[in-house]
């Protein structure tokens, strides 16, 4: 490689690094504006051929740092809650709740992303600005190491408001989550982000 070509490659590499840094800073700023929000959501699981395998909808409540309440109401009831340290996944039809610690590995990245922990996300993913329609901002998140649970993520905002989250896995499937009626949440009791199992519900611990 000639010195000129090597210099050009170095400049290009540095420009990508600066672009990624700017994208991470901007995404972090947008997430910081979501200190406590509530929204409706609709979710679709799509296979590698583009076929919709599953659809669901419900409500979500997010609060920094690391707390969320994700309540699916259709087509079945499921509740996933975290207080920032523990995750409870409650299936009403199965009458059971799975309790596990919230960690900082890639399998928790969507929750960490929406709960504003941009530093933890940056450790797992390269964050890049992506093309988006007018008035919208989109960011692609690509894993720093291959072989993880997620092949890619994308998050989109409209006029600074969360609009869409897309998660692609290593099998070619993707989950598309559309958010609606996004608004600041009022004062929320800490108990909202914890779960007490009703009588008769089996409690399983996944440590």
For 108-136, what is each residue's pLDDT tens digit?
Answer: 667 667 767 778 788 888 899 999 999 99
- Strands (E) in the chain, as ranges, are 36-46, 52-63, 67-74, 78-82, 86-91, 96-101, 125-130, 136-143, 150-158, 161-169, 174-184, 202-205
Q: Which residues of 36-55 are buried (b: 16+ CB within 10 A; e: fewer)?
A: ebbbebebbbbeeeeeeeee
pLDDT of residue 115: 67
pLDDT tier, 32 (very low <50, low <70, confident <90, very high otherwise): confident
pLDDT of residue 16: 39
Q: Kindly state the helix (H) or strand (E) to which residue 119 belongs, with its residue range.
A: helix 118-124
> Taking residues 12-36, what's their average pLDDT?
70
**Model-wide pTM > 0.85:** no
What is the domain partition of the chain in residue ranges? 14-197
pLDDT of residue 13: 34
pLDDT of residue 108: 60
Tell me the DSSP string of 157-198: EETTEEEEEEEEETTS-EEEEEEEEEEE-----GGGGS--PP
Cα–Cα distance measured from residue 204 to residue 207, given in angstroms and rounded to the nearest whole number? 10
Question: What would the two tokens of residue 170 be?
Answer: 């290593």
* CATH architecture of the domain with residue range 14-197: Clam (2.50)
Cα–Cα distance measured from residue 154 to residue 132, given in angstroms and rounded to the nearest whole number? 11
Instruction: Give the sign of the dihedral formed by CA 185, CA 189, CA 194, CA 197.
Output: negative
Question: What would the two tokens of residue 67 be?
Answer: 């707390």
Q: Is the peptide bond before 53 cis (omega within 30 degrees of 0)?
A: no
Name which residue leads in pLDDT, 110 or 24: 24
- Judging by beta carbons within 10 Å of its beta carbon (0-12, 13-18, 19+), is residue 57 exposed, middle or buried? middle
The one-character DSSP state at 107 is G
Cα–Cα distance measured from residue 24 to residue 127, given in angstroms and rounded to the nearest whole number? 6
- Main-chain phi, psi angles of 130, to 5 degrees: -130, 160
């Amino acid at each position: 490689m000639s010195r000129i070509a090597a210099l050009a490659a170095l400049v290009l590499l540095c420009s990508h690094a600066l672009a990624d840094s700017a994208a991470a800073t901007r995404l972090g700023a947008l997430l910081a504006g979501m200190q406590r929000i509530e929204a409706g959501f609709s979710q679709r699981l799509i296979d590698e051929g583009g076929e919709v395998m599953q659809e669901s909808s419900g409500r979500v409540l997010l609060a920094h740092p690391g707390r969320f309440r994700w309540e699916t109401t259709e087509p079945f009831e499921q509740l996933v809650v975290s207080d920032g340290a523990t995750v409870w996944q409650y299936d009403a039809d199965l009458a059971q709740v799975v309790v596990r610690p919230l960690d900082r590995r890639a399998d928790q990245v969507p929750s960490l992303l929406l709960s504003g922990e941009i530093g933890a996300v940056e450790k797992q993913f390269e964050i890049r600005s992506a093309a988006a329609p007018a008035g919208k901002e989109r960011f692609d998140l690509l894993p720093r190491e291959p072989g993880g649970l997620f092949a890619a993520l994308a998050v989109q905002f409209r006029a600074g408001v969360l609009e869409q989250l897309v998660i692609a896995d290593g099998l070619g499937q993707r989950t598309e989550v559309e958010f609606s009626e996004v608004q600041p949440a009022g004062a929320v009791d800490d108990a909202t982000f914890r779960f007490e199992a009703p009588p008769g519900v089996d409690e399983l611990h996944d440590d």
